[in-house]
Amino acid sequence: MATPENPLRGLDPDQREAVLHESGPLLLVAGAGSGKTRAIVSRIVRLVRDGVPPDRILGITFTNRAAEEMRERVASALYAGSSPGTGEGRDLPWLGTFHAFGARLLRRFGGRIGLSPGFVIYDARDQFDLVRQILKEKNVDEKKFSASRFLGRIERTKRDGEGSSVLREAGGWAFAGKAEEVRIAYDDALSAAGAVDFADLIRLPVRLFREHPGILEAVRGEIRHLLVDEFQDVDAGQAELSRGIGLGAESFLAVGDEDQSIYGWRGGSAGPMLSFERDYPGGRVLHLRTNYRTRAAILSAAGEVIRKNRSRREKRIEAAREGGDPPVVRQYEDSDDEAAGVAGAVAEQIRKGASPSSIAVFYRVNAQSRPVEDALRQAGIPYILRGALSFYDRAAVRDAIACLRWFVHPDDPVSFARLVKAPRRGVGEVTLARAREAARAAGTPFSAELVKIPRLAGLLEFRDRWAAGLPARKVGEALHAALDGSGYLAWIGDGDGSGTEERSGNGKEDSRENLQELLRIANLFPGSGEEAVCAFLERISLSPGEEEEGGEAVRLMTMHNAKGLEFETVYLAGLEEGLLPHSRSADSESEVEEERRLFYVGLTRARERAFLSFARRRSLFGAFRDTVLSRFLTEIPPSMVRWHVGTSRTPRGFARSGTAAPWRAPAIVPAAEPSPARPRLVRHPMFGDGVVEAVEGSGDDRKITARFPGYGRKKILVRAVRMEILY
């Protein structure tokens, strides 16, 4: 190994202290743009330089892209320009996601809880297809109970242990009964296919450690130094995995910022950060206090908003880059007017010399992108929609992966159902459903029933020959042989690409190009035989939807997708009550706080310039409604923003140019003191006028249940929303 570069070079005092931390648990509270990745990489390099074997270090982060970036930076620092190879051997620490680490544990120890080491990993689309399959078999009306709704409940049950009482409260008795029936069938189907889903990759290792303490001790003996990034977004299972290993390690570095915890909807919580000292006796807390990304004017405005949250550590982040322009706030007449204004402003930035790829437009929900896309197209401005259909979700790619996976795992009914549709083989869903039911009833593998279907004889015979030749084949060769022998290559070359879900782009030509790219990726994958093919399939299952297309183009994305990125200029659109904060958060103070964190994350992606906009009227649920300015804009002191008039009038209290004049929030104010009588009506910024049906509690802690025309019954926490109350 080459001599590692000095890991302390260029660090500030806070980063240096984190890198030199010797032993025990340390929580590194790393504010936006504070150089946390640099601190993590430097710490790993310092440990290796001081003699710690790389394979005794475990680094966990939340995305494959972040893990790859960290791996490259560690390799570059350790090897000083020489090539360390793939980085998958013992010459580099293991760096990856929680789910990849969970899969690694289950491959080694899953047999202790009855799991085959050759298990299949079902990604989100596979899980959806399986639930739809179950709903059809059970004659459940998907118009009434959608597959995505059932799947969400299954995931929450696995992740959070939600029981039938929670299901009844959330969806009613009818849904709760069906959800439990579908969940049992779903788990049985996974077991029969030898498959696990993403939730299992966390849940099962936790179970493994609980039921077999000896395995936990063995893992602790191997991992002497643990580093976990994005600790503010761990769910309960991930927190338990971290704690199980971290309490036995020589050192544990948890890195995060509760002000950027924005994934509560998928189980993430800043709770483990806020309880760190209690969970890790003797643990220390260190703050990275310098933001190297955002200009002081923007950072100060963002700080004024986020300090309104209660569930946070008090902190002060200083900007290394002083000065700069304050955020500009613009009002527009409607969403189309706003989109045209944003496109015009983007065009002006580009005319001044800005690179299109240095500009981003953020919004709260994907539906907001349509008018922005139209406006950019009309202006001739190239853009990339981040979070759209990823490479591995494209139809031809999913077809090919399903084909390869079934060839390796012939008892996988989800992959086989896709395989027989591309090309079609005269075997329909009814026949496959009978085969699945016969296998369940007889307790036999799914593949044992397939041999009884005459139309599949040729395919099954070829699969046997393919399996016999697999040990000598590299991954790319195995994939090509499977696609060729199954008839897929000929179908893609000669057919019209019908038979599976919609293809994006230009039909079969795009399908062929996507297939060629997949084969190129497979040809680069190391190893041969079944083990290498299974590793290739696992890599794909664990890395969906993360690739980023390059090129000079403006980036469009939701604020959730903006996490971890930075741009010279950002536009935050649709800053209105009901969008940000979202209407679903209106009756929960904790959810409003998460929405505030989302606004903070969006604003702190900007390096130089930030533009904030809202519309006076917006089309919601097919009808235009008057909007109310987002409370988060009102939380920024007027002296810290500049108001620029769009194509419509200036809101009351704002000057027409320069900085804003002192002003009051829009006239939606809760009553100062409630009348002894129960309120009759409420006027909600999103739902309009509603008739009060019940009141719980008193003062600002009251929860009011009201029925709104077109929206139904809503329970609303008074202090969480600006709402007029009428007595």
Cα distance between residue 391 and residue 386, in whole Å? 12
Cα distance between residue 18 and residue 14, in whole Å? 6
Helix, coil or strand: residue 30 = strand
Write down the residue that tokens 């077109």 correspond to.
Answer: 710
Long-range contacts of 366-373 (CB under 8 A, 24+ apart): 366/558, 368/335, 368/573, 368/574, 368/579, 369/556, 371/335, 371/336, 371/338, 371/339, 372/339, 372/342, 372/343, 372/556, 372/573, 373/556
Instruction: Answer yes or no: are the C-beta atoms of 189 and 411 closer than 8 Å.
Output: no
Cα distance between residue 115 and residue 113, in whole Å? 6
Beta-bridged to residue 715, according to DSSP, are: 705
Cα distance between residue 65 and residue 564, in whole Å? 10
Instruction: Answer yes or no: are the C-beta atoms of 224 and 271 closer than 8 Å.
Output: no
Find all residues with CB under 8 Å of 593, minimum gap 6, and list them.
309, 310, 311
- H/E stretch holding 372 reads helix 369-378
Write down the residue that tokens 């310092």 correspond to.
Answer: 46
Q: Residue-wise over 364-381: b if at least 16 C-beta within 10 A, else e?
A: beeebbebbbebbeeeeb
Return the number of other C-beta atoms located less than 10 Å from residue 347's C-beta: 17
Helix, coil or strand: residue 421 = strand
Retrieve residue 258's tokens: 């509760």
| Helices 147-160, 236-246: inter-axial angle, 10-degree rounding | 30
Task: Please give the distance of CA 389 from its chain centroid, rounded to a whole number.
Answer: 14
Amino acid at 399: D
Cα distance between residue 403 and residue 531, in whole Å? 17
Which positions are annotated as active-site residues?
Answer: 36-37, 229-230, 260, 605
- CA 71, 74, 77, 81: dihedral to nearest 10 degrees? -20
| Helices 236-246, 98-109: inter-axial angle, 10-degree rounding | 70
Amino acid at 566: E
Q: Residue-wise over 291-303: b if at least 16 C-beta within 10 A, else e?
A: bebbbbbbbbbbb
Retrieve residue 363's tokens: 């919004």
Cα-based distances in Å from 678 to 667, 681, 682, 689, 695? 22, 9, 11, 16, 7
